[in-house]
Amino acid sequence: MELVDYTICGLAVLIFTSWCINWLTHVMAIVYGKLKFHRQTTVLVPEELPGVSIIKPLLGVDPHLFGNLETFFNLKYPQYEILFCIQEEMDGALMIVQSLMQKYPKVDAKLFIGGKKVGINPKVNNMILGYDAAKFDLILISDSGLRMKEDTLLDMVNCLTEKTGLVHQMPYICDRKGFSSLVEQIFFGTQQAKMYIGANCLGINCTTGMSCLFRKEVAEEAGGMKYFGQFLAEDYMLAQAFLDRGWIVRISSQTAYQNAGNYSIADFHARLVRWTKLRIATVPTTMFFEPIFQCMFLGAITSWAVSYLFDWTALVFFLIHVLVWFLGDYILISVVQGGPLPCSKFEFMVGWLLNEMSYLYLICQAHLNPTVVWRSKKYRIKWGGITEEITPPPPKE
Residues catalogued as catalytic: 235
Query: Are the beta carbons of 304 and 11 closer than 8 angstroms?
Result: no
Q: In 184-196, which positions are buried (b, 16+ CB within 10 angstroms) versus exposed (e)? A: bbbbbbbbbbbbb
Residue 327: CB atoms within 10 A of its CB come to: 10
d(CA 25, CA 36): 16
Burial 66-79 (b: 16+ CB within 10 A, else e): bebbbbbeebebee
Give the amino acid at 113.
I
Give the C-alpha separation, 123 to 341, whole Å.
33
Using a 10 angstrom Cβ sphere, with 0-12 exposed, 13-18 middle and 19 or more buried, the burial of residue 26 is buried
d(CA 322, CA 267): 27
User: What is the C-alpha to C-alpha distance for residues 208 and 275, in angstroms, rounded to an integer?
Assistant: 10
Q: How many CB atoms lie within 10 A of CB 377?
A: 13
* Dist CA 287 CA 315 (whole Å): 27
What contacts 384, CB < 8 A, 6 or more positions away? 281, 282
Beta bridge pairs of residue 373: 378
φ, ψ for residue 293 (rounded to 5)? -110, 25
Neighbouring C-beta atoms of residue 85, cutoff 10 Å? 27
3-state per-residue secondary structure call for 38-64: CCCCCCCCHHHCCCEEEEEEECCCCCC
Helix (H, G, I), strand (E, B) or coil at 105: coil
**Measured between alpha carbons, how far is 193 from 275 in angstroms, rounded to an integer?**
15
Which residues does 306 contact at the CB level (< 8 Å), separation at least 6? Answer: 16, 312, 314, 317
